């Protein structure tokens, strides 16, 4: 495999496909496609008399069990796109649909994990994981059952009673992930969730997240500045360019291994990995901005 032999989707090709999809979903809530569909998402902010065009006609279709990594230089609009999918920000144009239904505001269908865990400091790990379930009116016994399943999934059984200040950074992020997963969202959005962690913890988190995805098969959408992380985790890798934010590359990761025990170190040492890494780094650098 060489970087140039990759099957890619350019923004134009992708945009054209999204336009077809948009025209096949004429009114609100009438579509039936499974997964998450973004059609022609644009966003312009007003700054005084200036218009800042942040996103331009982003089209994306995400399968219900997709693991997508989004790369791009700082300021290209990655977090803004995530905020639109989360329903926190309304786009100036275009639409987000989940299983064909128009999605315009935050709902339990979309879970978000941020760079910092933002756990409730007065609640234990179990209390944090149960919180969303309590808000959803789920009874105590069922809450406990669901929380204990997800706490086990992230490997925090022994720390379920601990308060956030008694956890390491990686444990906090795992608790935040369990809290997000407990409400069983259709898509889990992650905005650089490991960037505040040291290298070893980060690698261990990557393995955790990979295993959790394999066991839950939800749609995971992960923003990262780390090309290696995207290559190790993403079944699909998307690259954005800035000014305005557009998708310039959308590839199925040929190195993706859907196995129980992926060996990241062996993968990292391969020539294919180095070639594809170089290709992605050049793609990002091609935007004229810096990236790690
Ligand atoms: N509320 C806002 N008002 C005006 N401009 C904004 C607003 N929010 C974001 N922007 C601008 O939108 C652009 C994209 O920002 P965004 O945070 O989405 O980029 P990013 O790719 O996630 O960057 P980073 O990798 O550094 O987190 C930036 O130029 C930013 O200044």
Q: Is residue 216 part of a domain?
A: yes
Q: Is residue 223 part of a domain?
A: yes
Q: Are residues 200 and 176 in the same domain?
A: no
Helix (H, G, I), strand (E, B) or coil at 26: coil
Residue located nearest, by CA, to atom 30 of ligand 1 = 75
Helix (H, G, I), strand (E, B) or coil at 291: coil
The residue to which tokens 């336009």 are assigned: 19
Considering 135, 169, 184, which residue would you say is the last residue of a domain?
184
Distance 86 CA to ligand 1 centre (A): 15
Distance from C-alpha of 184 to C-alpha of 68, rounded to nearest angstrom: 18
Q: Is residue 25 part of a domain?
A: no
Distance 11 CA to ligand 1 centre (A): 20
Pocket of ligand 1 (CB under 6 A): 45, 47, 52, 54, 72, 74-80
Q: Is 16 exposed, middle or buried (0-12, 13-18, 19+ CB in 10 A)?
A: exposed
The values of phi and psi at residue 45, to 5°, are: -95, 145
What tokens appear for 160 in the block?
């379920």
Q: Are residues 158 and 101 in the same domain?
A: no
What range defines the domain where residue 74 resides?
36-109+185-287
Distance from C-alpha of 286 to C-alpha of 64, rounded to nearest angstrom: 31
* CA angle 233–236–242, rounded 5-degree value: 105
Q: Is residue 244 part of a domain?
A: yes
Considering 135, 167, 184, which residue would you say is the last residue of a domain?
184
Closest ligand 1 atom to the C-alpha of 89?
A: 1
Q: Are residues 146 and 214 in the same domain?
A: no
Q: Are residues 157 and 271 in the same domain?
A: no
Q: Are residues 190 and 259 in the same domain?
A: yes
The residue to which tokens 């409400």 are assigned: 183
Q: Are residues 77 and 201 in the same domain?
A: yes
Residue-averaged pLDDT of the chain: 84
Q: Are residues 199 and 73 in the same domain?
A: yes
Statement: residue 74 has pLDDT above 70: yes
pLDDT at 91: 94
Q: Is residue 19 part of a domain?
A: no
For residue 251, what are the CA distances in angstroms to 158, 161, 191, 203, 248? 39, 42, 20, 23, 10
Q: Are residues 125 and 213 in the same domain?
A: no
Q: Any residues with CB less than 8 A from the CB of 16 and at least 6 apart, and which?
A: none
Q: Are residues 197 and 251 in the same domain?
A: yes
Please answer whether residues 238 and 60 qualify as being in contact, where contact means their C-beta atoms are separated by less than 8 angstroms. Answer: yes
Question: Looking at this predicted complex, what is its ipTM?
Answer: 0.96
Residue located nearest, by CA, to atom 1 of ligand 1 = 45
Statement: residue 149 has pLDDT above 70: yes
- Beta carbons within 10 angstroms of residue 291's beta carbon: 18
Domain count, the chain: 2
Q: Are residues 125 and 238 in the same domain?
A: no
| Tens digits of residue pLDDT in 8-37 | 444 333 333 333 333 333 333 434 467 899
Q: Are residues 137 and 276 in the same domain?
A: no
Q: What's the whole-number mean pLDDT along residues 155-161?
A: 92
Statement: residue 4 has pLDDT above 80: no
Considering 131, 152, 184, which residue would you say is the last residue of a domain?
184
Q: Are residues 147 and 220 in the same domain?
A: no
Q: Is residue 260 part of a domain?
A: yes
Q: What is the CA radius of gyration of the chain?
A: 19
Q: What's the whole-number mean pLDDT along residues 248-263?
A: 82
Closest ligand 1 atom to the C-alpha of 72?
A: 21
Please answer whether residues 289 and 76 qualify as being in contact, where contact means their C-beta atoms are separated by less than 8 angstroms. Answer: yes
């Amino acid at each position: 495999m060489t970087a140039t032999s990759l099957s890619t989707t350019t923004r134009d090709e992708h945009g054209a496909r999204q336009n077809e999809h948009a025209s096949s979903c004429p009114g609100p809530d009438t579509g039936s496609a499974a997964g998450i569909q973004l059609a022609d998402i644009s966003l312009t902010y007003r700054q005084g008399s200036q218009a800042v065009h942040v996103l331009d006609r982003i089209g994306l279709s995400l399968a219900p069990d997709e693991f997508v990594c989004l790369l791009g230089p700082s300021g290209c609009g990655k977090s803004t796109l995530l905020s639109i999918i989360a329903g926190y920000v309304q786009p100036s144009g275009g639409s987000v649909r989940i299983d064909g239904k128009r999605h315009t505001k935050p709902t339990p269908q979309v879970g978000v994990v941020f760079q910092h865990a933002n756990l409730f400091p007065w609640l234990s790990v179990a209390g944090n994981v149960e919180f969303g379930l309590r808000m959803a009116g789920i009874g105590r016994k069922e809450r406990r059952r669901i929380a204990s399943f997800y706490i086990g999934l992230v490997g925090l059984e022994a720390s379920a009673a601990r308060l956030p200040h008694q956890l390491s950074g990686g444990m906090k992020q795992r608790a935040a992930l369990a809290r997000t997963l407990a409400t069983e969202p259709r898509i889990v959005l992650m905005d650089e969730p490991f960037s505040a962690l040291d290298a070893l913890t980060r690698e261990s988190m990557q393995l955790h997240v990979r295993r959790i995805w394999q066991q839950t098969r939800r749609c995971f959408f992960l923003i990262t500045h780390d090309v290696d992380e995207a290559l190790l985790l993403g079944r699909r890798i998307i690259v954005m360019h800035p000014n305005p934010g557009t998708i310039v590359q959308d590839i199925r990761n040929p190195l993706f291994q859907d196995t129980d025990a992926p060996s990241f170190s062996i993968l990292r040492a391969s020539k294919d990995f180095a070639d594809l890494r170089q290709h992605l780094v050049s793609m990002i650098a091609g935007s004229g901005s810096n990236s790690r």
